[in-house]
Amino acid sequence: MILGQACTQKKEKNQSEKTKEMKQISSKEYTTFKVSDNVTMYRVAFKNQYNMDVVGHLFIPNNLDQDAKHPAIVVGHPMGAVKEQSADVYASKMADCGFITLAIDLSFWGESAGEPRNVVAPEIYAEDFSAAVDFLGTRPFVDRNDIGAIGVCGSGSFVISAAKIDPRMKAIATVSMYDMGSASRNALNHSQTVDQRKKNQLEAAEQRYVEFTGGETKYTSGTVHQLDDKTDPIQREFYEFYRTPRGEYTPKGGSSETTTHPTLSSNTKFNNFYPFNDIETISPRPLLFITGDKAHSKEFSEDAYKRAAEPKELYYVKDAGHVDLYDKIELIPFDKLESFFKKYLH
């Protein structure tokens, strides 16, 4: 009996040591996602290579043996969003499938560091994924040789950018991917002219003078705050997620007026972002591109798939639009994601 008690106390102490950097939190305060009773959620923070704090939600299955090593998955949120919007949906559901998962706030967004807020910095966004791998790969219960990644919307292009130079990401999936570089340079379906791009660049450059001399920060693009007769269908699709209880979320200390909106002076940095160049060098690590067959963004997944080398797969979700795959769990093919990662992460 005494020996048994000593073993139990030792095990509890070891478990405590393994989770001492993690703060257990409840998902009840959030309305944009739910966590299974079979999963425990923690708030974690760690440094990226620029010594900036990256904050995330770590999800661990309750039945996981923390004395063994297990595969893990990093999850990134849509551009302009935060981890509570879509990334946590994927992370919590994949944890329910048995994986350790980590949903992160990209730098300058959500709870992660970076000033001014909402700055566009694609290189740092990609670095955040690698920093998340640093964190996971140094946990005693994670197998650093079995770490994968999921990027939703804009994070799809950021995780591709990261994976090209970080071979520790063993399997990469994207969902409703936006190539933020092409979207900025060319707009959807290449509908923006070079002259229009140059006009945007001039406006952003002039705004730098304003902010350099202490003027007001301006924000651009993002999701509209009101609908009218002229609101196009794509904006309506985003509005239904970001401006309604379905997906609306304002981080502590943030402003509902600026959520989803990048700064005007930094937004054109995407014009120098080419995430799909050299995408074939990710091979032989596998790539899975998931898109709705009715998604306005499917051109980006199709382009990436065409350029990538094997093993690769392009998976269409029937009757799904772009934003449908942010949170509609009845449409999101979690079985496909589960089988993909269980095949390539052992």
Question: Which CATH architecture does the domain made up of 21-186+273-344 adopt?
Answer: 3-Layer(aba) Sandwich (3.40)
Domain ranges of the chain: 21-186+273-344
Enumerate the H helices of the chain as residue ranges: 2-18, 87-96, 122-137, 155-165, 180-186, 194-212, 233-242, 264-267, 298-307, 324-327, 334-344
Q: What is the value of pTM for the model shown? A: 0.93
3-state SS assignment for residue 135: helix
| CA–CA gap between residue 33 and residue 328 (Å, rounded) | 10
For 28-81, what is each residue's pLDDT tens digit? 778 899 999 999 999 999 999 999 999 999 999 999 998 999 999 999 999 999
- Whole-angstrom Cα Rg for the chain: 20
pLDDT of residue 259: 97
* Mean per-residue pLDDT over the chain, rounded: 93
